[in-house]
Structure 1
Amino acid sequence: MTARIRLQPEAIGMGMTSQRVRDRLIDRLRETGIRDERVLNAIRTVPRHLFVDEAFATRAYEDTALPIGHGQTISQPWVVAKMTEALLQDAQPKRVLEVGTGSGYQAAILAALGLEVFTVERIGELLRTARKRFRTLGMNIRSKHDDGRIGWPELGPFDAIIVTAAAPALVSALTDQLAPGGTLVAPVGGAASQSLLRLRKDADGVIEETNLAPVVFVPLLSGMID
């Protein structure tokens, strides 16, 4: 299932933000091993250049992370694709919690797949900007300004959880909010070394862990900034 996105003229793009350039990104993602056509189609459809500052718009479809302010980044498209593909590996979830809204791009990719998305961000300014982007694209994404390390317990459990910042170890508050049969994808580690992990919780609550790839993410911090 793919959700309909409302594309204004600025979202359609031209030149270095045109559909032709986006399609070249999809070709590169295929070459690096991304196979899920649902994920590739969502990345082709969601206008990444709307999720970065105008100064970086011409670089939006490079396969690289870009700064979004406050010491944060919009993740490399390959990382977004890999994490999303890992969430969908066994079955498409219905309700997904994202920890770390950032630019809003990862949440938009999940919403474009037709998922019910809940996202938490600790930096108020980033969240306010992301909400404007969601409204521009007609996406009904529920968001909350809060400490992402505590998740969104009053709305859990979730079929899937995706964490877009790295903690030294898995956060128990988040694994507790994962429903039986659910999948959690998160980077784990410190500044020197991080791994992208995929966790599956079985019906008895036992968690099976798979190491997907080495990655580099900003740290998952506690507290809130207005």
Structure 2
Amino acid sequence: MTPLQLQGIGMTSQRTRDRLITRLKEKGIKNQQVLEVMANTPRHLFIDEALSHKAYEDTALPIGYGQTISQPYTVAKMTEIILAAGELDNVLEIGTGCGYQTLVLSQLVRRVYSVERIEPLQKKAKERMQLLRVNNVRFQHSDGNWGWPDEGPFDAILSCAAPETIPMDLVSQLKIGGRLLMPVGPDGKQMLHLLIREEDGVTKKIIEPVNFVPMLSGTQK
């Protein structure tokens, strides 16, 4: 991958990215590490070339298979929330999608474990990580409801798909003090939930309304 492809030109240039970072700050993103990573992450490489002129707009975009690449504000907000507890060793991501959130996380935590139920999407995400020489991400083609128990417990679990109720199998894969950040609810009525696992249970906080694709069961080839 050439430096020009990474840097982008025109509507994918650094100047355009910087305008996005200004908007993220205006929306309340304060973590400087998150802002720096968002500024330097080539979002245009994670969407179809026909949509690349919209890569640094603060909006979700289609990536095929009925899925979307998340709005940059949502990626920044969710990343900021899970980092609020301090340095993270291992994070589980539910819903790799195109790999954009995965790449952001990989630059801020030691190891990322990412589960995706749609195999072609996961394959493309893996190829992008190889091109970008990212080597601290592991992928699994699996039902996100199951998590990845063999690699837990995790410091944090971040979901990019919304179940109607929180899968308790995921809560059990958190370390004590670990955070689960997940959109929950039916389409049009989703709220972002933060759960923190404690010795005697969990504490829960509702963050804000969100709009994610639903978390479906099973896998797709």
TM-score by length of structure 2 reads 0.97
Equivalent in the alignment of 2:74: 79
Equivalent in the alignment of 2:140: 144
Give yes or no for contact 1:165–1:219 (8 Å, CA) kept in 2: yes
Equivalent in the alignment of 1:36: 31
Taking a change above 3 Å as real, the CA distance of residues 8 and 144 of structure 1, as seen in their structure-2 partners, is farther
- Report how far residue 89 of structure 1 moved: 1.0
- Of residues 86, 92, 95, the one that matches 1:91 is 86
2:197 aligned with 1:197, yes or no? no
Q: What is the 5 A alignment of 1:81-160? A: 81-140=76-135, 141-160=137-156
- Report how far residue 171 of structure 1 moved: 0.6
2:26 aligned with 1:25, yes or no? no
Q: Which amino acid aligns with 1:154?
A: D
Identity of aligned residues (%): 49
Structure 2: which 5+ residue stretches go unaligned? none
Equivalent in the alignment of 2:158: 162
Structure 1: which 5+ residue stretches go unaligned? 1-5
Equivalent in the alignment of 1:214: 209
Q: Which amino acid aligns with 2:160?
A: T
When the two chains are superposed, the root-mean-square deviation of aligned CA atoms in Å is 1.1
Aligned length: 220
CA distance in 1, matches of 2:188, 2:43: 29
CA distance in 2, matches of 1:170, 1:7: 42
Equivalent in the alignment of 1:173: 169
Equivalent in the alignment of 2:219: 224
- Report how far residue 36 of structure 1 moved: 0.4
CA distance in 2, matches of 1:103, 1:115: 20
- Report how far residue 92 of structure 1 moved: 2.1
Q: Which amino acid aligns with 2:193?
A: L
- Of residues 33, 46, 57, the one that matches 1:51 is 46
Equivalent in the alignment of 1:183: 179
- Report how far residue 45 of structure 1 moved: 1.1
